[in-house]
């Protein structure tokens, strides 16, 4: 057991009145704390100011009940206007912060762009990026898997889908990180100001791109957004398009990056599972689902109670923030036998909550699955003896209660 896991276990041994999700030891390894909460306080009032829901069935029910558990507070609303203080436009709701029926209009135009059939057509193109990135470090015998692979891959894919140059990757990365900070649960006043400035920079960048695409639409997401109609039959305004672009940049990057970093960590720490996958490559789909269940990048997201309500017998007053812990539901022993085991042959993994469920279920799930699948199928073909460069050093995670973000993963390998 790593020292990080050990610290997570110690944190979970604290009494409930000393427990909080914003404890860095819990963030480093949240699973023992989740187990305690599921058993002792499945709906827990965190001293940080929100309720934590940790059992699979309770999370699932809340996700399906959008009338009671609204998404309108997923991003703190006071942050919508902050960009205007720095010369930018006010941010507006996107699908992820909207409830039905408005949600349908905001999601509709983008649905088909990331459908399974469209993603299947993208396979050769994604495979090419996968190979190019691996080519860039395979002769070195080592790499920072995060910096050199899992960050650029989804970023290139989204940049191409938006129809903007990959050369601007560093900017996309900053804009995407700005959003991650806002949902981290740790954003200081300085962080919020920094995030607002990044959003303004992003707005200025895309406001230069939109007029050209309005005049000469091309086969990309921005052109599709320009042609989409809102609930009143009117085209999307620039602010709607900008907020949707920001959502895609952020929802599709940080998540896919971390899903692959965490999957690599799980494989290295479970060599028998890595061998099973090498021996039978047809297990790859099961591996993708199991890695998302076992250690997914979205640990939990906020909802707001629209009325006085109750979950598992605990009263929740109107306007309370409720944090649905997907990462805990995915380790719920009533749903998954031996949940702490990483098992690529596990049955029914696809029920996991890593992509959410219901109205807001991940729009990019097919694309993310394709990227993870091609990544590991290729890596297992091209690399042998994959290992950590420093097996005894601690993994470092960002301070973030919503997303599980591994900062680096130094790996070594032999070229196959
Ligand atoms: C492994 C990678 C990914 C994971 C784990 C993930 C996870 C999630 C989760 C948990 C939600 C539900 C949010 C909620 O219930 O409030 C979500 C929604 C969403 N995701 Fe993903 N995501 C991933 C990749 C992507 C990609 C690649 C894209 C875009 C290309 C994307 C775009 C979206 C969008 C637009 C939503 C909002 C859907 C809605 O509100 O209707 N995601 N994602």
pLDDT in tens, 217-270: 988 889 988 988 877 788 888 998 998 998 998 888 989 999 999 999 999 999
CA 261/CA 243 separation, integer angstroms: 27
CATH classification of the domain holding 101: 1.10.630.10
- Answer with the residue of higher pLDDT: 106 or 352: 352
Judged against a pLDDT cut of 80, whether residue 349 lies above it is answered with: no
pLDDT, one tens digit per residue, over 39-87 is 999 999 999 999 999 999 999 999 999 999 999 988 888 888 999 999 9
Token digits for 116? Answer: 């399974």
How confident is the model over 381-406, as a mean pLDDT? 91
CA nearest ligand 1 atom 43, residue: 362
Atom of ligand 1 nearest to the CA of 94: 40
Judged against a pLDDT cut of 90, whether residue 396 lies above it is answered with: no
pLDDT of amino acid 412: 98
pLDDT of amino acid 105: 84
pLDDT of amino acid 229: 80
Atom of ligand 1 nearest to the CA of 301: 16
Token digits for 75? Answer: 């991003």
CA nearest ligand 1 atom 27, residue: 252
* 8 A C-beta contact, residue 230 and residue 239: no
> Buried b / exposed e across 166-190, counting CB within 10 Å, b at 16+?
eeeeeebbebbbbbbbbbbbebeee
CA 302/CA 183 separation, integer angstroms: 9
Atom of ligand 1 nearest to the CA of 247: 35
pLDDT, one tens digit per residue, over 127-178 is 999 999 999 999 999 999 999 999 999 999 998 988 888 888 889 888 888 8
Task: State how many domains the chain has.
Answer: 1
* pLDDT confidence bin for 382, thresholds 50/70/90: very high
How confident is the model over 8-34, as a mean pLDDT? 93
Judged against a pLDDT cut of 90, whether residue 321 lies above it is answered with: yes
pLDDT of amino acid 184: 85
pLDDT of amino acid 5: 86
For residue 32, which of 50, 14, 52 has the smallest C-alpha distance? Answer: 14
For residue 43, which of 293, 343, 324 has the smallest C-alpha distance? Answer: 324
For residue 244, which of 258, 228, 225, 227 has the smallest C-alpha distance? Answer: 225
Ligand 1: residues with CB < 6 A are: 71, 74, 95-96, 107, 114, 247-248, 251-252, 255-256, 259, 296-298, 301, 326, 354-356, 360, 362-364, 367-368
CA 400/CA 299 separation, integer angstroms: 9
CA nearest ligand 1 atom 6, residue: 355
pLDDT of amino acid 108: 86
Judged against a pLDDT cut of 80, whether residue 26 lies above it is answered with: yes
Judged against a pLDDT cut of 70, whether residue 109 lies above it is answered with: yes
- 361 CA → ligand 1 middle, Å: 7
- Answer with the residue of higher pLDDT: 117 or 316: 316
pLDDT, one tens digit per residue, over 287-302 is 999 999 999 999 999 9
- Pocket test residue of 363, 373, 406 for ligand 1, highest count of atoms within 8 A of CB: 363
For residue 371, which of 222, 173, 178, 160 has the smallest C-alpha distance? Answer: 160
CA 413/CA 416 separation, integer angstroms: 9
CA 295/CA 85 separation, integer angstroms: 38
Say how far residue 107 (Cα) sits from the centre of its chain.
18
Instruction: Provide the 3-class DSSP secondary structure of residue 134.
Output: helix
- 329 CA → ligand 1 middle, Å: 17
> Buried b / exposed e across 315-328, counting CB within 10 Å, b at 16+?
ebeeebbbbbbbbb
- Pocket test residue of 162, 300, 355 for ligand 1, highest count of atoms within 8 A of CB: 355
- Answer with the residue of higher pLDDT: 224 or 35: 35
- 355 CA → ligand 1 middle, Å: 6
State the angle between helix axes of 169-182 and 238-269 in degrees (0 to 180), rounded to the nearest 10.
90
pLDDT of amino acid 236: 87
pLDDT of amino acid 77: 82
* 8 A C-beta contact, residue 34 and residue 335: no
CA 118/CA 122 separation, integer angstroms: 7
Instruction: Residue 21: give the domain boundaries.
Output: 3-415
Strand partners, 301: 324
* 8 A C-beta contact, residue 139 and residue 233: no
- 130 CA → ligand 1 middle, Å: 21
pLDDT of amino acid 230: 76
Of these ranges, 189-198, 344-353, 394-403, the one predicted with the greatest mean pLDDT is 189-198
- 215 CA → ligand 1 middle, Å: 30
- 120 CA → ligand 1 middle, Å: 18
- 390 CA → ligand 1 middle, Å: 32
Residues whose CB falls within 8 Å of the CB of residue 390, separated by 6 or more in sequence, listed in order: 410
pLDDT of amino acid 1: 60
- 246 CA → ligand 1 middle, Å: 13
Q: How many CA atoms are closer than 13 Å to the CA of 280, on its beta-carbon side? A: 10
pLDDT, one tens digit per residue, over 180-203 is 888 888 889 999 999 999 999 999
- Pocket test residue of 116, 321, 362 for ligand 1, highest count of atoms within 8 A of CB: 362
The mean-pLDDT minimum among 30-34, 372-376, 396-400, 411-415 falls in 396-400
* 8 A C-beta contact, residue 260 and residue 287: no
């Amino acid at each position: 057991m790593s020292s990080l896991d050990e610290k997570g276990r110690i944190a979970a041994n604290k009494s409930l009145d000393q427990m909080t999700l914003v404890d860095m030891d819990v963030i480093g390894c949240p699973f023992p704390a989740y187990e305690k909460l599921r058993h002792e306080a499945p709906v827990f009032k965190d001293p940080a100011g929100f309720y934590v829901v940790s059992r699979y069935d309770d999370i699932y029910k809340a996700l399906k009940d959008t009338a009671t558990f609204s998404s309108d507070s997923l991003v703190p609303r006071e942050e919508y206007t902050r960009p205007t203080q720095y010369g930018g436009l006010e941010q507006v709701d996107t699908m992820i912060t909207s409830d039905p029926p408005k949600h349908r209009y905001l999601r509709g135009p983008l649905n088909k762009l990331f459908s399974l059939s469209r993603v299947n057509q993208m396979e050769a193109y994604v495979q090419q990026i996968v190979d190019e990135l691996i080519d860039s470090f395979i002769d070195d015998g080592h790499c920072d898997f995060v910096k050199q692979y899992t960050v650029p891959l989804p970023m290139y894919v989204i940049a191409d889908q938006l129809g903007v140059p990959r050369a601007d990757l560093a900017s996309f990365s900053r804009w995407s990180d700005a959003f991650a900070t806002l949902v981290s649960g740790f954003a200081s006043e300085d962080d919020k100001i920094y995030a607002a400035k990044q959003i303004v920079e992003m707005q200025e960048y895309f406001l230069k791109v939109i007029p050209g695409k309005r005049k000469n639409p091309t086969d990309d997401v921005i052109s599709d957004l320009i042609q989409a109609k809102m609930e009143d039959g009117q085209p999307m305004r620039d602010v709607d398009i900008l907020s949707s672009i920001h959502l895609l940049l952020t929802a599709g990057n940080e998540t896919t990056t971390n899903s692959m970093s965490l999957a690599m960590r799980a494989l290295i720490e479970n060599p028998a599972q890595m061998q099973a996958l090498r021996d039978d490559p047809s297990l790859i789909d099961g591996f993708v689902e199991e890695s998302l269940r076992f250690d997914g990048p979205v640990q939990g997201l906020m909802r707001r109670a629209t009325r006085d309500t109750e979950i598992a017998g605990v009263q929740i007053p109107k306007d309370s923030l409720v944090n649905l812990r997907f990462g805990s539901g995915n380790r719920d022993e009533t749903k998954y036998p031996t949940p702490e085991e990483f098992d690529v042959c596990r049955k029914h993994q696809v029920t996991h909550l890593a992509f959410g469920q219901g109205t807001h279920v991940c729009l990019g799930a097919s694309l993310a699955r394709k990227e993870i699948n091609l990544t590991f199928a290729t890596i297992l073909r091209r690399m042998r003896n994959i290992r950590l460069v420093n097996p005894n050093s601690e993994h470092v995670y960002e301070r973030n209660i919503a997303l599980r973000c591994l900062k680096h993963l130094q790996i070594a390998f032999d070229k196959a």
